[in-house]
Amino acid sequence: MEVVYVYQRKRKEFGKQPLFADKPAELTVSVPPDPSLMKNYVERNPCHLEVQATAEKSEHEVNTESASFTNRGILHTQGGWPKDVDVTDVEHTIRYRKKIEKDEEYLKSIKALGDVMEMIVKQNNAIDIYEEYFGESTESISSGTPSAKSLNVYRDPNPVKRAASYVSWYPDDGHKIAVAYSVLQFQAMPANMSYDSYIWDIESPNAPDLALTPPSPLVCIEYNPKDPHILVGGSYNGLLSFWDTRKGSFPVDTSSLEKSHRDPVYSVQWVQSKSGSEFFSTSTDGQVLWWDIRKLTEPTETMSIDPEKNGNIVGGTVLDFETTMPTKFMIGSENGSVYMCNKKAKNPNEKITHIFPGHHGPIYALQRNPFFLKNFLTIGDWKAQIWSEDVKTPIMSTRYSDQYLTDACWSPARPSVFFTSKMDGSIDVWDYIFKQNEPTLTVQVASSPIHSIKAQEHGKILAAAARDGSTTIFSLSDGLSKIQQNEKKIFSEMLERELKREKTMEAAAREKRIKATQKRPASAIKPVGQQLEDLLRQAEDDFFSAIDDGSGKLKEEALARAAEYDAIQQQ
């Protein structure tokens, strides 16, 4: 039997043992009236006295004694048997049944109950009491101005402030958040900096609910969707650790240094599995590693991000995995491209199936739409882009922002709403059904850049982690957190329309390239070998015939100088 909780306390910390005993009421102090003191007071008239609305009770031993209650129940396995009937004896129970069934009162009771039951059955056949009259109706959404209200701010409790680099919501009801703290600037980590990250209860921002102590500062952290007590985190030095909150602040297990990443772990994602213990990670060292928390000594599978298959490894920055697609996953890279991968490929060179190039900087956010899984959102420069798996170009994009974008996520409640964070500490809320040219709402969260934003499972609350160490949660208005009537259908038609437009443009560009290739003259083909040498000799003869006076001296002198130069170079 495993001990989950252990409570320890020294006997001397309990204090002196209290000894209680019954004691009758006694008079301790008696102050007699002094008429001479009346001159110091003025009689108040009128006099108002405030009393409570409840009856006053005495505070000594004549109080009413409290009554104690107990709950008792009877477990009926085969109905209520008399005490003289042994339920375990089959023959005894059969004899008793036959005796009861011959009783006239039993027959009358059964007949009376049968009539009542027949009437109830007829009523149920006439009216379906479980019918839902308004099952398909949608809740009316307030048409007020979209807004966001700040609920709480959770600050790094350490004296040396660190950046809140990642935030993850508690999977069941979202009443807790796990925040990873680290300093991401190269060689900017103070010597006395704390390595702790924290789990916060959203109702108590004054002190963290639990501290997580990793071997190196955490860059990312994720709750296990199947077991909310389990968390996995990626460290700045490339190690992977997992925690069980029932076992304290220290990690249950940590990967070995020689088998882990060589750069900071920027993203971890849990994988769909029977055990619920598998996850994978990526780093800027260009590796994707699969792990099992039951054995973290080495990864179960490895993959190098080599899209060109020429040995030039590309660093990974973010991962995305959808549980309904157990073999597919996506990688956001440092070069601004997104790679669609298949884990069950026959050989490592075939794992990257599609490449989506489109950003000017590293991919900071990558997430599939929770309602339309073929479409995904990316952030990698000054704009956000929405993609479809069927084309290699984005089907929709936001306008370029004045500030660099740092993170983004979809709303779990509304298919057309997503959030983007910026370097100036603000968050933009985009509602593509409402308008596409500018954000529906902009909220200033902090004065420093925001590193991570995550929406609660129900879509009502949004958490934002900033570089100054603060994590802020916002409550969104109903217009932004509750799905509107026909919204899913309208946004689906919008995505399909933009997908058809991109396919048409791709087909037109492909046809144009083919026509240009067909019209290219034969002379445009690059000569090689003997043909190239003949062309160079012909060009040389034409050049000297144009500048020579017909004697050929210029050509001879040029060839002599070239031969002399070659001789000097060989020496």
What would the two tokens of residue 543 be? Answer: 């050049």
Beta bridge partners of 510: none
Q: Are 270 and 278 in contact (CB under 8 A)?
A: yes
Q: How many other C-beta atoms lie within 10 A of the C-beta of residue 250?
A: 13
Backbone angles phi, psi at 227, to 5 degrees: -135, 105
For residue 17, give the 3-state DSSP assignment: coil
DSSP 84-134: TS-TT-HHHHHHHHHHHHT-HHHHHHHHHHHHHHHHHHHHHHHS-TT--TT
Contacts of 135 (CB under 8 A, 6+ apart): none
What SS3 state is found at 486?
A: coil
Q: How many CB atoms lie within 10 A of CB 69?
A: 5
Say what the pLDDT of residue 87 is: 76
Question: CA separation (Å) from 84 to 80, 111, 534?
Answer: 12, 27, 121
Distance CA 324, CA 376 (A): 15
Enter the tokens of residue 182. 């680290």
Strands 176-182, 426-431: parallel, antiparallel or unpaired by DSSP? unpaired
Q: What pLDDT score was predicted for residue 142?
A: 47
Contacts of 268 (CB under 8 A, 6+ apart): 220, 221, 222, 232, 233, 234, 240, 279, 280, 281, 319
CA 517 to chain centre: 48
Distance CA 333, CA 304 (A): 12
165: amino acid identity, one letter:
S
> Of 379, 372, 302, 306, whose CA–CA distance to 343 is shortest?
302
Q: What is the pLDDT of residue 194?
A: 85
Give me the DSSP letters along 512-535.
HHHHHHHHS-GGGSPP-THHHHHH
The secondary structure of 446-474 as a DSSP string is -SS-EEEEEE-TTSSEEEEEETTSEEEEE
In sequence order, the β-bridge partners of residue 301 are: 290
The rounded distance, in Å, linking the Cα atoms of 316 and 287 is: 7
Quick one: tokens of 141? 């959404």
List CB contacts of 13: < 8 A, sequence separation 6 or more: none
Instruction: Give CA angle at 187 (184, 193), nearest 5°.
Output: 70
Quote the CA–CA distance of 420 and 464 in Å, as a whole number.
Answer: 10
In angstroms, the CA 26 to CA 43 distance is: 33
Contacts of 78 (CB under 8 A, 6+ apart): 87, 93
Closest CA to 491 of 397, 371, 411, 350: 371
What are the backbone angles phi and psi of residue 280, rounded to the nearest 5°?
Answer: -140, 160
Q: Read off the tokens for 358.
A: 């489109």
Q: What are phi and psi of 470, to 5 degrees?
A: -95, 145
pLDDT 10s per residue in the chain (571 long)?
566 777 777 777 777 777 888 888 888 888 888 888 888 888 878 777 777 777 766 665 555 667 788 877 766 666 667 777 877 788 888 888 888 888 888 888 888 889 889 988 888 888 777 777 776 655 555 456 888 888 888 988 888 888 889 999 988 777 889 999 988 877 777 778 888 899 988 888 888 888 898 988 899 999 988 888 889 999 988 899 998 888 888 988 888 888 889 889 999 998 888 888 889 999 988 888 988 888 888 888 888 888 888 878 888 999 988 888 878 889 898 988 888 888 887 777 778 888 888 888 899 999 998 888 899 999 988 999 998 888 888 888 888 888 899 999 999 888 899 999 999 889 999 998 888 888 888 999 888 899 999 998 888 889 999 998 889 998 888 888 888 888 888 888 888 998 888 888 888 888 888 888 777 665 556 666 777 788 888 887 777 777 666 666 777 777 777 777 777 766 6
* 8 A C-beta contact, residue 447 and residue 456: no
Would strands 197-201 and 176-182 be described as parallel, antiparallel, or unpaired?
antiparallel
CA distance 351 to 361: 24
* Total count of residues recorded for the chain: 571
Match 């012909």 to its residue by tokens: 538
Three-state secondary structure of 280-319: EEEECCCEEEEEECCECCCCCEEEECCCCCCCCCCCEEEE
